[in-house]
Amino acid sequence: MSVVLVDAGGTNIGSVRYALQRLGVEAPLTADAQCIRDADKVILPGVGAAGPGMARLHELELVDVIRSLTQPVLGVCLGMQLLCEHSEEGDTTCLGVIPASVRKFEESTERCVPHMGWNRLSPTVKHPLLKDLEEGDWAYFVHSYAVPVGDYTLVGSDYGGAFSAVIASGNFHGMQFHPERSASVGAKLLKNFLEL
């Protein structure tokens, strides 16, 4: 099985690679369109802002490449948000492969933005990506923008209101939290993705 990490300029790439290595998978970092098309699984990691993330994908001429993929694709953190149609962050048009919009968390005296730290997961549907995931399992988040709950939501979480922690549409999947920093739960979900 071949797995590639799209070189979208995210700062969590090293930790994602290490998490995959712990599962016995070597995943090269690449911006080569043919290499991405030929892979069995594609992971789009990312930490940063939507505008620069999409600018990087345009610069590398990878926008249409990613949109046309038919194998399982996983977006992580910003990578998940880039799979959506639009982000309020910088009023950015994203890849549009998952019919969702990304919105900023409302500022509050009760909650800090960004949402940073461990939070509980609440699966909403049965899906192979969620095998052995339990209600109330914990995952590690760092984000100021979130995807509202919708038909694409596989797992919800709550931070002053419900938001999507895991989304999917067709062969495209996203995890808002960092599986590579979410201990056994993150490892389990990465393994499930590799088995799709």
Q: Stretch 53-67: mean pLDDT, rounded?
A: 96
Kindly report, residue by residue over 99-138, the tens digit of the pLDDT: 999 999 998 888 999 999 999 999 999 999 999 999 999 9
Per-residue pLDDT at 156 exceeds 80: yes
Q: pTM of the full predicted structure?
A: 0.96
Count of domains for the chain: 1
| Mean pLDDT estimate for the chain | 95
Question: Which residues are known catalytic residues?
Answer: 77, 178, 180
Per-residue pLDDT at 9 exceeds 80: no
Domain ranges, residue 37:
3-194
pLDDT of residue 20: 95
Q: Stretch 145-161: mean pLDDT, rounded?
A: 97
pLDDT of residue 12: 67
pLDDT of residue 8: 80
- What's the CATH number where 110 sits? 3.40.50.880
* Percentage of residues in the chain having pLDDT higher than 90: 91
Per-residue pLDDT at 36 exceeds 90: yes
Which of 22-30's residues contact partners 24+ apart within 8 Å by CB, and which partners? 22/187, 23/187, 23/190, 23/191, 23/194, 25/1, 25/194, 27/3, 28/4, 29/4, 29/5, 30/4, 30/5, 30/6
